[in-house]
Amino acid sequence: MDKSSIKADRDSLQYEIGVENFLIFAEENFKNPKKIPCPCAHCSNFKKFSVNIIRGHLYESGFSLGYSDWIWHGENHDNSTRSSVGSTCPPSKPIPISETFNMCEAAYSREDCDKESDNFERFVADAEQPLFEGSECTKLESVLKLHNWKARFGVFDKAFTDLLQSVGSILPKDNLLPSNMYEAKKTLTDLGLEYIKFHACPNDCVLYRGPILESSSECPKCHLSRWKVGKDGQVRVNVPAKVMWYFPIIPRFKRMFKSSSTAELMSWHANNRSKDGKMRHPSDSPSWRNVDCRWPEFGREARNIYLGLAADGPQEPGNDIDVYPQPLIDNLKKLWEEGEPNVYDAHIKSFFTLKAILMWTINDFLGYGNLSGCVNKGYRACPVCGDQTVAKYVSRSRKMSYQGHRRYLDLYHPYRRQRTAFNGEQEFGCAPEPLSGEEVLGK
């Protein structure tokens, strides 16, 4: 059967037979039948379920695009045969290409897929192999856990390589754990999880980036050494005192469009949402509509991204936070002014120029002051009232008390006259005063 000319009919008996045969085969190759990678278009083998759940996913979403070699389910495909085991096990008796294989592969077509997407699918398939035969942990999961440990405790590359070699010597001989830092780093880079390290001033003055600062050995503002100073007082050249790890956003956005199911969801707000005037999605907000109105060319491309920036942390650098988002700001400016060309959409199977806009910031009140540069302490702390903020210093508690909320009541509301109840002002033997100009303002 010519699989390139077939579109699967998931309601047909032929497709049903193919799915059942596939599930039987997959179940035979996994010791734990409740943790089988789901090959549907939504899960793309990243999630593991039981056979019953996978069956429902395959009928609902079909098979994942690009999954032609069933290496996640114990097969190794060549021109004439398929093996029922994974790449880490010796092959068992070959299984001929059957009607089941043709039916399952008829659920997608790869003829329009670009080479980068094809390589990415194959890399993910390789990375999701078990760490060794019988292991419930995958190669990718193992590398991520160890790399997170390295970053958390600031372990040097040489020490990390030694750790990988030591752990690898304990594991079975057929393990897939990288043997050195280079291989581990390449695994994450191929997945699109590359990172960039920038040296930073210990006092958060600057990042050592750009043609001038890259060659500097001390901070141009506080003149503190760029390099770490040992306990003996000696400067350790080429050992940075402070490092910022930056994960570029543009490669991650491009990866989102490499998956057909994710790429379809990226334009869901324009193609599938209900447009009945109710607030159901951020695209129903006035901010979103304002962007589409002011920049119609940007709004016409449904795949452009509207971003929100969340900032919070227990050890934030205060007002010096403006130093650290510089690489992010450069990426955001590029995505807004020029865009990222030649981004492949696996759902529509076409290339386009991706643009993005930063529309919201989400943070607590302290973070708001750091990010915006607005005053959020003292007598003018309210970002809405500004100079009209009504504040009073309470000496007993040594804190500021923000009052004046009565100004938002109706003009002749009875609470406007109750200064004693609201402001703590005592009026012994006094009759209620007429409404003054200050009372109208809530002062």
The mean pLDDT of 163-171, rounded to a whole number, is 92
Classify residue 30 as left (phi > 0), alpha (psi -120 to 50) or beta.
beta
The pLDDT of residue 10 is above 80: no
The mean pLDDT of 187-194, rounded to a whole number, is 72
Q: Tell me, what's the pLDDT at 122? A: 63
Determine contact, residues 310/362, Cβ cutoff 8 Å.
Answer: yes
Q: Tell me, what's the pLDDT at 28? A: 80
Distances (CA, A) of 240 to 14, 220, 225, 310: 63, 16, 9, 28
Q: Tell me, what's the pLDDT at 92? A: 38
Residue 80: how many other CB atoms lie within 10 Å: 8
**Assigned token pair, 313:** 């942390």
**Assigned token pair, 130:** 């078990």
Distances (CA, A) of 175 to 28, 259, 313: 22, 28, 38
* pLDDT tens string 60-114: 888 876 676 677 776 654 433 333 333 333 333 333 333 333 333 333 333 344 5
The mean pLDDT of 356-385, rounded to a whole number, is 84
Strands 196-199 and 76-77, sheet pairing: unpaired
* pLDDT tens string 364-377: 887 788 777 778 88
Determine contact, residues 202/224, Cβ cutoff 8 Å.
Answer: yes
Determine contact, residues 84/74, Cβ cutoff 8 Å.
Answer: yes
Most confidently predicted of 105-119, 193-207, 316-330, 357-371: 193-207
The pLDDT of residue 277 is above 60: yes
Q: Average the pLDDT over each of 31-35, 221-225, 406-410 and give the range with the smallest value.
A: 31-35
Most confidently predicted of 139-148, 183-192, 220-229, 393-402: 220-229
The pLDDT of residue 441 is above 80: no
Q: What percent of the chain has a predicted confidence (pLDDT) above 70?
A: 78
DSSP state of 63: B
Q: Tell me, what's the pLDDT at 116? A: 61
Q: Can you give the pTM of this predicted structure?
A: 0.59
Band the pLDDT of 266: cuts 50, 70, 90. very high
Looking up tokens 């000696």, which residue turns up?
Answer: 234
Q: Tell me, what's the pLDDT at 117? A: 60
DSSP state of 421: H
